[in-house]
Structure 1
Amino acid sequence: MGLTPHGKERRSIKRHQLNDYLTVYNRNTMREMGNIGNISCNGLMLISCIPVLIGAVYNMRIIIPDGDNGQVIIDFDARCHWCKPDVGPEYFDSGYSILNAGHGIIDLVDALKKYFTFSEC
């Protein structure tokens, strides 16, 4: 098994900084909805400070930095299917199906898979 040796970090973004880059916004108001806990091409789990309405469709936006102060904006709609308190008492977890997964979501999911995949050095 070819695991990375102890103490050797291959990530360019530290793990504790990922929440800064995986924030989901309401694209109509640009208010923060929460942070991605999990994502696939079909759905996502959001960790937020407030509970959300189950059954509602939300207009969402993810803004990803892209080199020299540029940005990639990913807009999509998602329907909330469940919402429950998180293990931390001040947070809520909610699950969504993505209604219109365009290339932006697919590229983001692929990039995150590569980022978190351990490979032989």
Structure 2
Amino acid sequence: MALKEYQGVIVMEIDGQEVDIESLDVNEKLGRKVVKTMNKTGRANGFTKGISDIELKVAAVIPMVGNIDWASIVGAKITVYPVGGGQRTSYLDCFTTELGSQWKSEGEAKQNLTMVATRKVQE
């Protein structure tokens, strides 16, 4: 049986500039909402379409020099692709909504941030 290769480590770019990150979590909210009605079955009958959005949670390491001003990011293009090549995914019109910092007795300092993207495209 042949071994399968799976996607692993990624590279993240913001407007073409590579960014050192520890982790990236992507959550797509599809905007669908359940429609509950009173009926004899006691179940929902369907759903309604709403507005979708994409939330990115990023843990970025803090360099000694040249840190990104995460709070001022508005309208950015974030591109994610596997190390060694593969399918690129871009998140467009991104902006930062939350920003926090974390320091530990051992390990690197990190900035934990939440961003929102309005669109996702496969390149």
Q: How high is the TM-score relative to the length of structure 2?
A: 0.49
Higher relative helix content: 1
Q: How high is the TM-score relative to the length of structure 1?
A: 0.49
Higher relative strand content: 2
Structure (1 or 2) with the larger CA radius of gyration: 2
